[in-house]
Amino acid sequence: MPPQLDTTQDIKPLTALRENSAELIEQLKTTRRPIILTVDGRPEAVLQDPAQYQRLLDLVEEADAREGIRRGLDDIAAGRTRPAREAFDEIRAKHRIPR
């Protein structure tokens, strides 16, 4: 699990990136926590360690796959399916694909 955001250290004005980019990159490497960049006190961007970002992308992909499986199981339970042979026969007929 990634480290929790530390609001005393991980929220910075955008100017901090312009003025101290090397320091912020070092903070990312050390803490592995994202840094929230603000403009006029409002969050505008997130600076994140590449490995943590990849982990986030992997988790999203896994969640999407699980959701697809869950929906498929719901369709089966609700009877919203048909035999594969029937579906393939329909596709063959529609596109004039011989058997």
Three state DSSP letters for the chain: CCCCCCCCCCEEEHHHHHHCHHHHHHHHHHHCCCEEEEECCEEEEEECCHHHHHHHHHHHHHHHHHHHHHHHHHHHHCCCCCCHHHHHHHHHHHCCCCC
State the architecture of 1-48 in CATH terms.
Answer: 3-Layer(aba) Sandwich (3.40)
Per-residue pLDDT of the chain (99 residues; tens, 9 = 90+): 667 888 888 999 999 999 999 999 999 999 999 999 999 999 999 999 999 999 999 999 999 999 999 999 999 999 999 999 999 999 999 999 998
Domain residue limits, the chain: 1-48, 49-99
Place of tokens 């006029």: 40
Q: How far is CA 11 from the centre of its chain?
A: 22
Pairing outcome for strands 42-47 and 11-13: unpaired
Q: Give the pTM.
A: 0.66
